[in-house]
């Protein structure tokens, strides 16, 4: 693989460099007007100092490559670490005083490497945050140096093809509102209130009621364990997300993101409670399943979901799902639809105001 040596991103004169340039100009004017050899000597010394600084700065960044590694997927708005490897390919001279900066921004130093030896490398971790869902290519980084005297600054731009998938934010929610919705009587499900009979034991999750903790078993195992009681209702859940782009809805983008994040949070919360969860929408679907693998597939779908044309009929989409033996939960970014009937029968759009954060 060829080393990524970057591209020139420009030079910048620092305040100290501007002062030296002004001194050199004044010395040249004085020498020209007086003919004094001492002024010429001083002028030559200052210019030599500036030129040495310039050429050493250029040499310092020569044959320096940068590679980086990042997680395949992260959560929206949560910081993550990007691994940076700076390698000096010069045979004799070390690379001194290299800073990692965000491209296009001054005074945006993210990391600093005092010295990278000849034929050596330096490793550091740079924190980053991505504010939007979807597949994103990491922005280019700059390596800058002011070596040796700090009179000026030189940058090289390093870009690569590192992509990161950004999941929607997942928050801890109380699932009582969802668990108490009517559903087909088929398979036992976990209930927040006491059920008819003991169903299973699992680890405590945020939002569980303290009265359901099995104290003796928790003390013996060293982990908080919770009793799940069963009722004769479905443990299968389908989330139907309304992805229509509603042009008449003010602030649609933010409301759409909130609906996507709520769908992700509820799906993950129920999966941790051993539910069989399906997520579907006019923009795509994930077949039902259990466990961490299903959680990853749902988050990948919701990371890439985009609004669909407003002309699509969401009610018809929901009616096609109703015959299934599962609890159907409809989520819409439109507050005007919350709690209103959709599809057929008594099915209503989930009221997002009733969801309680744990």
Say whether both 255 and 308 belong to one domain.
yes
H and E: helices and strands count for the chain: 7, 20
pLDDT (tens digit, 9 = 90+) per residue, 28-82?
999 999 988 999 999 999 999 999 999 999 999 999 999 999 999 999 999 999 9
Q: Is the peptide bond before 55 cis (omega within 30 degrees of 0)?
A: no
**CA–CA separation, 12 vs 155, rounded Å?**
9
Q: Which string of DSSP letters, residue by residue, matches 198-254?
A: EEEEEE--TT--GGGB-HHHHHHHTS-EEEEEEESS--EEEEEE--B--TTSTTHHH
1 located within any domain: no
Tell me the range of 63-77, 95-109, 217-231, 343-357 where mean pLDDT is highest. 63-77
311-324 average pLDDT score: 82
Q: Which pTM was predicted?
A: 0.79
| 312 and 179 within one domain | yes
Q: Which residue has the tokens 């609004």?
A: 307
SS3 56: helix
How large is the average pLDDT for residues 237-243?
93
Instruction: Give the mean pLDDT of the chain.
Output: 86
Domain of residue 220 covers 188-232
Question: Residue 123: inside a domain, yes or no?
Answer: yes
Number of domains forming the structure of the chain = 3
Per-residue pLDDT, 242 = 93
The HSE-up count of residue 341 (CA atoms within 13 Å, CB side) is 4
Both tokens of 148, joined, read 């040796």
Domain co-membership, 141 together with 56: yes
Mean pLDDT of 285-309: 94
Residues 133 and 57 grouped into a single domain: yes
Identify whether residues 254 and 269 lie together within a single domain.
yes
């Amino acid at each position: 693989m060829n080393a990524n040596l970057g591209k020139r991103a420009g030079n910048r004169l620092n305040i100290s460099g501007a002062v030296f340039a002004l001194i050199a100009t004044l010395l040249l004017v004085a020498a020209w007007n007086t003919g004094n050899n001492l002024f010429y000597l001083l002028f030559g010394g200052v210019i030599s100092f500036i030129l040495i600084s310039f050429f050493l700065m250029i040499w310092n960044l020569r044959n320096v490559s940068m590679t980086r590694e990042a997680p395949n997927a992260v959560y929206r708005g949560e910081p993550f670490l990007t691994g940076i490897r700076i390698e000096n390919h010069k045979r004799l001279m070390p690379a001194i005083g290299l800073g990692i900066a965000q491209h296009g921004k001054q005074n945006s130093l993210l990391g600093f490497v005092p010295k990278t030896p000849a034929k050596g490398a330096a490793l550091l971790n740079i924190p980053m945050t991505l504010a939007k869902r979807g597949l994103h290519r990491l922005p280019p980084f700059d390596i800058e140096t002011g070596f040796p005297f700090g009179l000026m600054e030189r940058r090289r731009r390093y870009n690569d093809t590192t992509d990161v998938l950004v999941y929607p934010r997942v928050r801890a929610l109380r699932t009582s509102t969802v668990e108490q919705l009517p559903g087909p009587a088929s398979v036992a499900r976990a209930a927040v209130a006491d059920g008819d009979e003991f169903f299973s034991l699992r680890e405590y999750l945020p939002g569980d009621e303290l009265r359901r903790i099995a104290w003796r078993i928790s003390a013996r195992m060293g982990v908080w364990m919770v009793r799940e009681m069963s009722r004769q209702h479905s443990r299968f859940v389908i989330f139907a997300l309304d992805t229509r782009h509603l042009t008449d809805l003010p602030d649609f983008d933010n409301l759409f993101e909130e609906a996507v994040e709520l769908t992700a949070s509820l799906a993950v919360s129920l999966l941790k409670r051993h539910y069989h969860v399906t997520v579907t929408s006019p923009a795509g679907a994930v077949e039902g399943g259990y466990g961490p693998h299903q959680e990853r597939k749902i988050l990948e779908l919701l990371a890439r979901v985009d609004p669909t044309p407003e002309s699509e009929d969401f009610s018809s989409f929901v009616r096609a799902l109703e015959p299934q033996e599962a609890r159907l939960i409809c989520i819409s970014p439109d507050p005007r639809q919350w709690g209103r009937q959709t599809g057929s029968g008594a099915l209503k759009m989930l009221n997002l105001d009733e969801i309680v954060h744990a």
